[in-house]
Structure 1
Amino acid sequence: MNLLRKLYLKFFVSSGFPYGEYLSKRRALHHQGNNCFVSKGAEISDPYLLSIGDNVWITDGCRLLGHDASVIMINIMQGSQLDQVGPIEIGDNCFLGNNVIVLPGTKIGPNTIVGSGAVVTRNLEGNAIYAGNPARLISSMDEYIEKVTSRSKQFPWSRHLSKTTAHIYDANLEATLRKERVEYFFNSQPSY
């Protein structure tokens, strides 16, 4: 990557959806769907071996590895010419929490959340929540949505959320949400 492109990325393309659009316009990945959130803090070792669907979130610290570099040590040790690479396929509506590691030759099914710090060593079925090392099934997506919906309704500020169409951030609501969250969680007024 030349110096001008590095500077452009660092100063003019913000992390998240803008970086996802940047990758899409440059056809950096084998396949990339629409509305993808890609953190600039994520590492994608072999973008040409990565295929992601629509509404995929790759958050800060994630590492998507299309190869196993240990084979180089084996090649030197044995004088061989082995190769250990594989594609990574991520279906629609998937969320990879911070610091998830995805190993080569794996598929993550649609409608899946992989919890922070998990290591994906094998294919993960869709419509599910996974966490741990190696990543293990925690619950179905339906169970998780039911749990989050129930919890969200209990928060005093939920009445504000039902009035907005913003799914991520609503600048008009943010000050109110912060104030009510601090009061709720800390039983005090914000100190900022």
Structure 2
Amino acid sequence: MKIFGGNVSIDDYPTLIGSKDAHIQFTSWDIGEHKGEIKIGKFCLITPGVRIMSAKSIIIGDACMIAHGAYISDADWHGIYDRAEPVGNTKPVIFEDNVWIGDSAIICKGVTIGKNSIIGAGAVVTKDVPPNSIFADPIKLAKEFDALDRYTLGQNSLFGWLKSLVMPDKSN
């Protein structure tokens, strides 16, 4: 694991898995007006090759999992017109609780990922992700979890679902 900068905090019971050829890297930029921070919640899993780079704020909630090679950044890391500008535009990144990030996914600045959401392998996330969603690349809604689906429909047929609404019992 490599940590650059001082404003990195990891809450209780993390699981951080590194390897010789795929380090976990946390970078918290602290130069001039840019004071990056990285905060990681309880019970998070971070696997080899993950890079988290902050010039503003990256907050990762409790029980999140980040797969191999994922990249999370809250900055452009250079200006658009003046490439010598050291950081460029910044916007905070927020993962709510129980977010899963797939292998080699890229999470860009300004993104909030809602609780219980999953980002597929290789996805490039440039927009907010609502809670209880699965997104894959190209970044589009693959499925939205629905409480009615989870609790009444399950594996039932249309008839079974209608029956569960009219005459609910333990079998449906």
User: Normalising by the residue count of structure 1, what TM-score does the alignment of the two structures yield?
Assistant: 0.55
Shift of 1:40: 3.0
Find the aligned partners of 1:90 and 1:45 in 2 and give their Cα distance. 14
Amino acid at match of 1:129: I
Greater percentage in helix: 1
Is 1:75–1:82's contact at 8 Å kept on the other side of the alignment?
Answer: no
User: Which residue number corresponds to residue 81 of structure 2?
Assistant: 74
Amino acid at match of 1:137: L
Shift of 1:48: 6.0
3-state SS in 2 of match to 1:137: strand
From 105, 128, 135, give the equivalent of 1:130.
Answer: 135
Aligned length: 128
List runs of 5+ in structure 1 lacking aligned partners. 7-15, 151-192
Find the aligned partners of 1:45 and 1:52 in 2 and give their Cα distance. 13
After superposition, residues 27-42 of structure 1 pair within 5 angstroms as 30-42=38-50
Cα 1:51/1:57, change in 2 over 3 Å: same
List runs of 5+ in structure 2 lacking aligned partners. 5-13, 19-23, 26-35, 156-172
Is 1:59–1:97's contact at 8 Å kept on the other side of the alignment?
Answer: yes
Amino acid at match of 1:41: G
Is 1:112–1:141's contact at 8 Å kept on the other side of the alignment?
Answer: no
Cα 1:128/1:81, change in 2 over 3 Å: closer
User: Which residue number corresponds to residue 141 of structure 1?
Assistant: 145
Find the aligned partners of 1:82 and 1:61 in 2 and give their Cα distance. 22
Q: Percent identity?
A: 26
Shift of 1:117: 0.7
Is 1:75–1:81's contact at 8 Å kept on the other side of the alignment?
Answer: no
Q: String of CA shifts for 1:3-22, please: whole Å, max 9, x gaps.
A: xx89xxxxxxxxx81459x9
User: Normalising by the residue count of structure 2, what TM-score does the alignment of the two structures yield?
Assistant: 0.61
Shift of 1:136: 1.1
Asked if 1:121 is matched to 2:126, the reply is yes
User: Which residue number corresponds to residue 115 of structure 2?
Assistant: 110
Higher relative contact order at CA 8 Å, sep ≥6: structure 1 or structure 2? 2
Cα 1:35/1:83, change in 2 over 3 Å: same
Find the aligned partners of 1:55 and 1:142 in 2 and give their Cα distance. 21
Is 2:45–2:65's contact at 8 Å kept on the other side of the alignment?
Answer: yes
